[in-house]
C-alpha cells in the first residue's frame, strides 16, 4: 500500500449527452429546461381529454365510472387495500407456533421410537 495516495486527484469520466436512463423513458422527447420565472409550469392537458370531460367532473374509464360505485360482486373497499399489520403479524406468529409445535411433537416421537428399540 506504499504507492497509494488517498488524496491524489483521479480522472473522472466526462458526462455524456445521452444518459443510459434515457432508454428507460422510452420515446419521450427531452425538453430543454426553461429558466425559472417565479410561476410554476403547469403542462396543458391534451385537447381530447378536455373535450371529453363531463361538466360534473365525473370521469369515465372503459365505460365504467371512476366514482364511488363498485362493480357487481366486488367488495366495497379502496384499491390497493392491504390487511392490517397486526393481522398479518398474528397470522405469521400463529404459523410459526404451529411449526414449532410440529417440530416438538416429531422430536418426542423420535425419542419414544428410539427408547422402544433400546429396550428390545
pTM of the predicted model over 0.75? no
d(CA 93, CA 87): 10
Q: Domain containing 115: what range? A: 86-120
**Residue partners of 18: CB distance under 8 A and separation at least 6:** none
> Considering the domain boundaries, does residue 99 fall inside one?
yes
> Considering the domain boundaries, does residue 64 fall inside one?
no
Domain count, the chain: 1
Residue 106's SS3 state is helix
For 47-72, how does the pLDDT look when each residue is reduced to its tens digit (9 = 90+)?
A: 665 555 566 655 555 544 455 555 55
Burial per residue of 21-37, b for 16 or more beta-carbon CB atoms within 10 angstroms, e otherwise: eeeeeeeeeeeeeeeee
> Considering the domain boundaries, does residue 23 fall inside one?
no
Residue 99's SS3 state is helix
Provide the grid cell at 83. 390487511
For 63-101, how does the pLDDT look when each residue is reduced to its tens digit (9 = 90+)?
A: 444 555 555 555 666 667 776 777 778 888 999 999 999
Amino acid at each position: 500500500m506504499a504507492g497509494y495516495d488517498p488524496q491524489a486527484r483521479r480522472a473522472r469520466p466526462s458526462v455524456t449527452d445521452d444518459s443510459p436512463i434515457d432508454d428507460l423513458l422510452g420515446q419521450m422527447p427531452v425538453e430543454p429546461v426553461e429558466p425559472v420565472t417565479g410561476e410554476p409550469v403547469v403542462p396543458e392537458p391534451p385537447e381530447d381529454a378536455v373535450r371529453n370531460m363531463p361538466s360534473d367532473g365525473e370521469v369515465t374509464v372503459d365505460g365504467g365510472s371512476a366514482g364511488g360505485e363498485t362493480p357487481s360482486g366486488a367488495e366495497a373497499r379502496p384499491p390497493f387495500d392491504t390487511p392490517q399489520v397486526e393481522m398479518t403479524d398474528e397470522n405469521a406468529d400463529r404459523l410459526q407456533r404451529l411449526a414449532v409445535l410440529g417440530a416438538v411433537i416429531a422430536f418426542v416421537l423420535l425419542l419414544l421410537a428410539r427408547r422402544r428399540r433400546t429396550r428390545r
